[in-house]
Amino acid sequence: MARSIDRAKREELLASAGAVLARTGLTETSLRALAAEMGTSARMLVYYFGSKEQLTLDVLNRQQRAAIPETDELDLPVSVAAHREWCMQDWHACTRGDRSDTLRVVLQVFGAACGRDSAYREYTWETLALLTRNSQARLEALGMPTHVAETRSRIALAAFQGLIIEYFTAEDTAHVDDTFVRFVDEFLLAPFASGA
């Protein structure tokens, strides 16, 4: 008879794994090394999660549920100025705030998802789709036509990923901050032709 999973222990392992992965990185850490950093055994992690990939996905899904609302739960902007302010706050949360450690792991997972048989492919696709829908809903709330909002959202998400990687690897991050501000003002929230 199979033992039932201790939910509290599982949550404790997820929290611990998230902190370790943010510090050590996904690609540099084996399951055995991850377990050692967490103060547990690789066997315990396999029992609860099956594999390093599944543990990583469970960590990211747990963190995503806490950080990214579903599209129908969004607080939509009431003005371009309000959305611009939200963009700046989100940028700061992602680059040096409470989401920066998680985002480091997410970007590694996105890169690993490009493998033909990657365990991260579905997670990456679903996350990118959710982020695109959320951005599109915010832009449509400002009166942007659907096709313009979708295009700008997809391009913005790709640019955002690139700027985050640049921010995390740059010696001087001030120019990345400046580029992000210009990107928001000159592209994402630039005037649009309402009849286009």
Joined tokens for residue 115:
């493998």
Asked if residue 194 has pLDDT above 70, the reply is no
pLDDT band for position 26 (cuts 50, 70, 90): confident
The verdict on 85 and 59 lying in the same domain is no
196 within some domain: no
2 within some domain: no
pTM: 0.83
**In whole numbers, what is the pLDDT of the chain averaged over residues?**
90
Share of the chain above pLDDT 90, in %: 69
Query: Any idea what DSSP says for residue 188?
Result: I
124 within some domain: yes
List pLDDT tens digits, range 36-89: 999 999 999 999 999 999 999 998 888 887 777 777 888 899 999 999 999 999
The verdict on 56 and 87 lying in the same domain is no
Higher pLDDT, 161 or 69: 161
List pLDDT tens digits, range 162-176: 999 999 999 999 999
Exposure letters 71-92 (e unless 16+ CB within 10 A, then b): beeeeebeebeebbeebeeebe
List pLDDT tens digits, range 121-148: 999 999 999 999 999 999 999 999 999 9
The domain that contains 58 carries what CATH number? 1.10.10.60
Which residue from 12, 128, 137, 154 is spatially nearest to 71, judged by alpha carbons?
137
Place of tokens 């990923």: 161
- For residues 110-128, average pLDDT: 92
Please give the residue range of the domain that contains residue 31: 7-63
- Residue 154 CA to residue 128 CA, distance in Å, equals 9
Residue 102 CB partners (closer than 8 Å, separation 6+):
18, 22, 60, 63, 67
- Residue 155 CA to residue 164 CA, distance in Å, equals 14
pLDDT at 195: 47
The verdict on 173 and 84 lying in the same domain is yes
pLDDT at 196: 42
150 within some domain: yes
134 within some domain: yes
- Residue 166 CA to residue 161 CA, distance in Å, equals 9
